[in-house]
Amino acid sequence: MEIDISCPNCGRSDWVQSVPAVRASGVQTVTGVDYFTGVGVAPSGLVPAFGTATVERTTVSNLARSLPLTPYVPSSGKLIALGTVLAIPGLMVIVTFTAMLVNPEPGRTAVTTFLAGVLAFALFSWPAALAFTVVVNRVRRKRRVARGRNTASAVWRAGQYCHGCGLCFWPYSPAPHIPARQSIPPRQFTWLVWSVGGYANLMTW
């Protein structure tokens, strides 16, 4: 069975390109040389320093950016490290007030010391708690995207884009509730793909 990939809006097929091809052609990695200046230390004192460094930059066109298979899920590694560092003051509070409970100061009751410790812990630990809350949300988001990625991928790969009209369409319906031979804007196309994957409500752009 021959599939008609002509645009349902303008009827042309020479302007039509598959969505994966549009995405691939719009993402490019460029290698270049950056020049930098600074100050170096020499036996005679501070001296100007010049140098070069090879860098790689990834550029994404606006069109490719509008047709992603999945939403961007940031890494949590740096945030975990930050949360660990921010947790140190809270741990120090626990150690300090535990020692004060074991060896109470004259005239201070255990209840007073305990309440002061709870307040101090809350004061010093909320930044770490906030960081780890964001980490947990990112992990949940990543898992949700991973669960639906394969299902959404089949729908995404079947999509076509007409460069003349600036619209997307499916030549046939690759999944239930996916309209065939109907031109739609890239944003709506992405929303339908993400809906099939079960993560459409993560759309933030």
Over residues 35-78, the pLDDT tens digits come to 656 655 666 666 666 666 666 677 788 999 999 999 988 888 88
Task: Give Dmax over CA atoms of the chain in angstroms.
Answer: 91
Tell me the CA end-to-end span of the chain in Å, nearest whole number. 38
Q: What is the average pLDDT across 93-111?
A: 75
Letter string b/e over residues 2-22, b meaning 16 or more CB atoms within 10 A of that residue's CB = eeeebbbbeeeeeebeebbeb
Number of H helices, E strands in the chain: 5, 5
Take residue 50 and report the two structure tokens written for it.
């010049």
Query: Among 49, 131, 117, which residue's Cα sits nearest to residue 86?
Result: 131
41 belongs to a structural domain: no
In sequence order, which residues have a C-beta less than 8 Å from that of residue 204 and are 6 or more positions away?
Answer: 71
Beta strands across the sheet bearing 167-169: 16-18, 160-162, 167-169
Whether the pLDDT of residue 157 is over 90: the answer is: yes
Asked, for residue 56, whether it belongs to a domain, the answer is no
Structurally, how many domains does the chain consist of?
1
- Mean pLDDT for the chain overall: 84
pLDDT, tens digit, 9 for 90 and up, residues 113-156? 778 778 888 888 888 899 999 999 999 999 999 999 999 999 99
33 occurs within a structural domain: no
Examine the pLDDT at 94 and tell me if it is beyond 70. Answer: yes
Q: Does a structural domain hold residue 141?
A: yes
**Is the predicted pLDDT of residue 98 greater than 70, yes or no?**
yes
Residue numbers of the domain that contains 88? 69-202
Report the predicted TM-score, pTM, of the whole model to 2 decimal places.
0.69
Q: Does the pLDDT at position 205 exceed 50? A: no
- Please report whether residue 57 resides in a domain: no
165 domain residue, yes or no: yes
- What one-character DSSP code corresponds to residue 104? P
Check: CB of residue 80 under 8 Å from CB of residue 116: no
What is the mean pLDDT of the segment spanning 8-12? 93
Is 90 within a domain? yes
Distance (Å, whole) CA 165 – CA 16: 9
Does 12 map to a domain? no
User: What is the per-residue pLDDT for 13?
Assistant: 92
